[in-house]
Structure 1
């Protein structure tokens, strides 16, 4: 069976759509979340000028000298700033060891929601809501911040659709995302001069992983590289349609729904052409939920045929275990179900 990522126009939820139009969107989202876990959306309403500002900021920063970019590194526990090539291992976020630890070759820059983002929620724990590190690059902060705000809006539109699709109260997700751990990661898959990486045909751009939170909003170049694990255990190339954003579910949603909706495994395999890597850019906005929100399986997703698969855990504890794997090299021992899927795919 051919692998297919559904394309859904969410405009009825962005504008003043009719109840019937919204119900059809929610039905299609539910079907995609049950069967694929990845979705393409149009009608999201992000202006092209905002996307242009984002890509200009990305290009300006990643064009800097590697040593200059390293000035903006932060310790592993602070999910902000620059990550150079071969400093992370996404598979360790699932507790899966690779032959070479911390070997994902992408470089990235992270920004996120801070204490100042949520003035009505004082005393948020640090470094979960750490201040951002802004590079001295003309237009970078403005361009990135404008897109961050738009992606945050789209993420909340998606969770409103999720509530309808799961027959939950309209404010179910809103009540758990009032001070959401939102992080945006700008990725660059192109090797800076002097980087020690061998193009041996098995290069890992970004290791197999699931996303950590509720939902991810992904802008990406239409360049090969992203691969999604199908239900038959095969890896499938995915690229967005023109003007579309990619949406995928995170582990928090999989836990809430008792895997009725799955956080789909994905990875990035670099496109190598004539012995060089074709540059690929992506920007992932992670909408993860309040740090103190409790993830408990929805009663509607548990029955005799579907026993509860997960113990309750807070968003903060869940995310901390994931980040300790990817950024600090501490294998996540609490991800048995996810790691089993990775190992099965490798077989």
Structure 2
């Protein structure tokens, strides 16, 4: 049994209004109740998934000195390599037991956001790495835009409300490597309890135990997807914009049982961010006398900066 609801994007994409509404209802309820779903029918085909995993395994297997050459100073880890233990959860000092790579948004040179986004970093040793990464980025972004259209309808907004904010948004594709654990970790786990910063996160690689979600009773439950599913969750930006109507759920990646310490884990989240000038003000139709406005007005760009400082990726 899965502990999180499963939905099928093909319902939303169908020409049948009842199937489309079924998807809107199911994902809306799930995101109000627990903030997580497993999604079938997305735009990543098996061959692309297989090739992406192959490329990222090859990258993380490169010598440390080679990987370190792709860690770019001064950009808060927004592109390229971020070394083991550098990122920590908000409010924690211990670094997470992971290393990762960042692919960022691809915009035309004349885009108003071109000057905001650092260039993507090309890995010279792996000729297919950046090609495959870009293709996966675009398919995950396409999937995310349709999910946001369903959520817009659930919230009583125009179906395409989020499109202008999500297209050219500051989204990040993050292949993560959790290396084998070689000694007893001191108060550190693979990814400490946290909420995501962004609008929604689309996660590849939740087929095995490790990812846990905290329900409303404070209990940790395993979030395990089927091989053909992505796990999708609400981030803090969307929760804030909807005045907590849609829940940004705390989650973590726990260390495996000791007998599996010698194994690596790979996961690939796509953090879907809006453009920096999107106002995250609480939506009027998510506030009323029973649900007063919980948050001050702020733009997505300012909110992101605050959180990157909290995570230790930007020094004030």
Per the normalisation by structure 1, the TM-score is 0.85
> Distance between the aligned counterparts of 2:248 and 2:262, measured in 1?
28
In structure 1, C-alpha distance between the alignment counterparts of 2:304 and 2:64, rounded to whole Å: 29
Over 3 Å counting, the alpha-carbon distance change for 1:119 and 1:27 in structure 2 is farther
Instruction: Determine if the alignment matches structure 1 residue 182 to structure 2 residue 200.
Output: no
**Corresponding residue of 1:215:** 200
Secondary structure of 1:260 counterpart: coil
Equivalent position of 1:41 in the other structure: 39
Measure, in 2, the Cα distance between the counterparts of 1:330 and 1:258.
29
Given candidates 121, 129, 135, the residue that maps to 2:123 is: 135
1:61 maps onto 2:55 in alignment: no
Deviation at 1:19, TM superposition (A): 1.1
Within 5 Å, give how 1:140-289 maps onto structure 2: 140-191=129-180, 198-200=183-185, 202-274=187-259, 276-289=261-274
Conserved? CA contact 2:35–2:247, under 8 Å: yes
Q: Describe the shift of the 1:304–1:3 C-alpha distance in structure 2 as closer, same or farther (beyond 3 A).
A: farther
Q: Could you tell me how far 1:327 is from its partner in structure 2?
A: 3.7
Cα shift readout 1:50-74 (whole Å, capped 9, x = no counterpart): 1111111111101111222111112
Q: 1:277 to 1:263 in 2, by over 3 A?
A: farther
Paired position in structure 2 for 1:122: 112
Higher strand fraction (1 or 2):
1
Q: CA deviation at 1:120?
A: 5.4
CA offset at residue 45 of structure 1? 3.1
Q: In structure 2, what is the equivalent of residue 110 of structure 1?
A: 102
* C-alpha distance in structure 2 between counterparts of 1:70 and 1:237, whole Å: 33
Structure 2: distance between partners of 1:311 and 1:44: 35
Q: Tell me which moved more, 259-268 or 319-328.
A: 319-328
CA contact (8 A) 2:82 2:100 kept: yes
Q: Which runs of 5+ in 1 are unaligned?
A: 332-347
Residue number in structure 2 paired with 1:336: none
Residue 303 of structure 1 pairs with residue 301 of structure 2: no
Q: Deviations over 1:136-176 (max 9, x none)?
A: 21311111111111111101111111111111111210122
Task: Give the superposed CA RMSD.
Answer: 2.1
1:228·1:266 contact (CA, 8 Å) conserved in 2?
A: yes
Alpha-carbon displacement from aligned partner over 1:253-288 (angstroms, at most 9, x marks no partner): 101110011111111112143272432111111111
Matched, 1:85 2:84: yes
Cα distance in 2 between the residues matched to 1:46 and 1:86 = 30
1:323-342 correspondence runs (5 A): 323-328=308-313
Cα distance change, pair 200–315 in 1 and its aligned pair in 2 (3 A):
closer
Question: What TM-score results when the alignment is normalised by the length of structure 2?
Answer: 0.93
- Paired residues in the alignment total 314
CA distance in 2, matches of 1:270, 1:329: 26
Q: Is the 8 A contact 1:272 1:278 kept in 2?
A: no
Find the counterpart in structure 2 of residue 70 from structure 1: 68
| Change in 2 beyond 3 A, CA 1:13/1:34 | same
Question: Residue 325 of structure 1: CA displacement?
Answer: 2.0
1:104-124 per-residue CA deviation (whole Å, 9 max, x = no partner) reads: 11110111004xx24552354
**Greater CA drift, 288-297 or 219-228:** 219-228
Question: Contact 2:28–2:154 (CA<8 Å) still a contact in 1?
Answer: yes
- Structure 2 unaligned spans of 5+: none
CA contact (8 A) 1:88 1:329 kept: no
